[in-house]
A and B are shown apart, each in its own frame.
Chain A
Amino acid sequence: MTLLELESVTAFYGPVQVLDAVSLSVPEGGAVGILGANGAGKTTTLRAISGTVRAGGRIMFDGVDIRGKRPEQVAAMGVAHVPEGRGSFGALTVRENLRIGAYLRRDRKGVESDIELLLELFPNLRDRYKAHASSMSGGEQQMLAVARAFMAKPRLLLLDEASLGLAPSTATTVYDAIAKLRRESGIAMLVVEQNANLAFHIVDSATVLETGRNVLTGTSAELKGMDEVRRAYLGG
């Protein structure tokens, strides 16, 4: 059962065409990666899905065309986007950030027990529970951003470069936690990552973008075996 399906999606920033024709599909409960160099259109693809850039083509989520919907409408349908740069609310505490993530939920008890669950998974957040997000380190803020998205109980998580600006060991910690969340929750994921090794921690399959179009698509095992992928994205 396909949860998300992109068909020949296009997008422009002013006169510059960033997405030429991007197609991909994420099955219910599956995890798909988007790999590629800087400027290939990875982030824009996620933004087209969450409604933060205007796009052409078809974007079907759970059988509904969500292209052209506003970000809050897409969020309400069950899509949570962890944006590039983490999107933290700097002057809010960790707890308040998590409550904002759960804004659309009405089950108070469920929200509290999910906060507890995430604090268990990210012990750093428990230590900084009453601190402002702006006072935390990059790794802690990334964990907070992932936790905030999970608080929405989404059906699909869009994850944009969770490793950006993090020390390698911190990035691995973050990805291990995401992998664990995925195992426990079964939430489908679309993962943008420059560091393909990290992405393969989580995803079952991936597509490689170059200048706004798909150039390669395959399962993780297939892609890892390809010389060109190894050279370009796996460091050897």
Chain B
Amino acid sequence: MGQFIQLVIDGLSNGSIYAVLALAIVLVNQATGMVNFAQGGMAVLAAYLTWWMTEHGLPLLLAILLSVLVSFVVGGLLERFVIRRFERGDPDTAVVVTIGLLTLITGICGWLWSYNNKQFPSLFSLHTVNIFGAAVSFRSIGTFLVIVAIMLALQALFLGTRFGLALRAVAINPDSAALSGLPVGRLLMAGWGLAAALGAVAGALVAPQLTLTPGMMDEALVYALAAVILGGLSSPIGVVLAAWMIGVLENLAAVYVDFIGHDLSVAVPFFLIFVVLIVRPQGLFGRKAVVRV
């Protein structure tokens, strides 16, 4: 029983990493209608920036805050000067551009800071508490709580505020939004800026656990995209629940299902997606798009 609970809790902890990246992807999608594959890379860049500032003597919390601010600005500028050229064109082109950005940002990180692992200081203590026979670190609990807070904040932003409504409207129909007086360009920049800022938080949360490398987020990005598909692109709560589910099932399958083991556990979330999408194409929590013609 102790082992089972330990596996579940470790799974939730891994799932939280996927969740925070998935939330950033949902944010960009809801605000601009795009899927940003560079989201993981932007989070890594922000994590390096934070790390670099702590190496120069800044307290960790201050470094994270500065990195979040810088990321907001960089994200906005990236939209304005790079992404905007592709927003109105073929959506496939835009997706390939974000994949190119991912490669570019990873390369820049490696060039500036090398590909060797860096020890990233943890925001939360590594001490553990005993919960039902499982050892749980304060870091896991802290990460978990921050993610729940971000999830609820995003849900409230999109569904409860005028700003969130404007972001969604611009993503759905930018031409019509401009006719209603919405500052389309600024809203698109704000959407990317917010997602980049969220990515900076994500980077700071997961870097201590994964240790900082340019490719730190690559695997997490794959799981995050899985969570986004499984949970439904429009639902912050949905993608977080899906990310936790993926983390837990992956852990359980690796230990309890003999032929899967640790080598095949990466396939578990994708098998799960396959099964779920056959039954619910809109994801577990997404809203079905109904279009009358």
Contacts and interface: CB of A to CB of B under 8 A. Distances in A.
Contact of B179 (A83, A134, A138): A83
A135 B289 CA distance: 8
A75 B179 contact: yes
A71 B179 contact: yes
B178 A100 contact: no
A69 B173 CA distance: 20
A90 interface: yes
A138 B291 CA distance: 11
Contact of B169 (A80, A81, A92): A92
B292 A100 contact: no
B128 interface: no
A100 B169 contact: yes
Nearest to A79: B179
Interface residues of A, number: 30
A52 to B, nearest CB: 7
B156 to A, nearest CB: 15
Interface string A82-96: 010001111110001
B162 interface: yes
Given A89-B173, A92-B168, A81 B290 contact: no
Interface string A116-132: 00000000000000001
Nearest to B181: A75
A135 B292 contact: yes
Interface of B: 162, 165-166, 168-169, 172-173, 175-184, 234, 287, 289-292
Residue of B166, B176, B179, B291 with highest tally of chain A CB at under 10 A? B179
Nearest to A148: B180
Nearest to A133: B172
Contacts of B181: 72, 75-76, 103-104, 152
B292 A137 contact: yes
Contacts of B162: 99, 103
Contacts of A72: 178, 181-184
B179 A80 contact: yes
A81 B173 CA distance: 14
A44 interface: no
